[in-house]
Structure 1
């Protein structure tokens, strides 16, 4: 990958909260992390990454891809999630969202969709 990505500044106050979230992962986060860690998809992801004023569930700096897992709490915060995603996208961060239940029950399909997105972004970088 030849392009140099912009460094995205985050609120330093979020660092401790991100650490707390990493230490208290949901089942869906643990299941997905087991499949994407150690460059399993060809790129490195990090968990609970502060970006701007937000914390994303997983983030790959290389291709600027954020993975968000939507649990039942997201049912009532659609507008917030939509605004948040728009802000991240204006910073150059691509977002992909999966429902918590999909990761628990259809992990293979989730991984196929994620692999496809990663490949698309890697090709875009070349």
Structure 2
């Protein structure tokens, strides 16, 4: 995404999912993460972050949060999400 690499991306919802290890607590890395997230959000993307430990200890809660971000609520019916890419016209 621009000058950055993201962990997971759902183009249909412009949703970015980031998984962070312990090194993301370090000052330099944390500052880079804040700048990166700010840039992504200014470009119209939503960014949600999870610690690796959350994935390991409470995967269900992580998946529920992602589901809510995609569909609006836990009760919403899942549907096929389709990305409508803008086609570039040949020059």
- Equivalent in the alignment of 2:20: 70
2: CA distance, partners of 1:95 / 1:63: 11
TM-score, structure 2 length as denominator?
Answer: 0.74
- Equivalent in the alignment of 2:82: none
Question: Please, which runs of 5 or more residues in structure 1 have no aligned partner?
Answer: 1-50, 121-126
Q: Secondary structure at the match of 2:63?
A: helix
2:34 equivalent to 1:82: yes
2:49 equivalent to 1:119: no
- Richer in helix (by share): 1
Give how far 1:75 is off: 1.0
Tell me the C-alpha RMSD between the 2 structures.
0.7
Bigger relative contact order (CA 8 A; separation at least 6): 2
Q: Secondary structure at the match of 1:53?
A: coil
Question: Please, which runs of 5 or more residues in structure 2 have no aligned partner?
Answer: 73-91
2:62 equivalent to 1:110: yes
2:12 equivalent to 1:55: no
1: CA distance, partners of 2:52 / 2:6: 14
Give how far 1:78 is off: 1.3
Residues 15-34 of structure 1: CA deviation (Å, up to 9, x unaligned): xxxxxxxxxxxxxxxxxxxx
2:53 equivalent to 1:101: yes
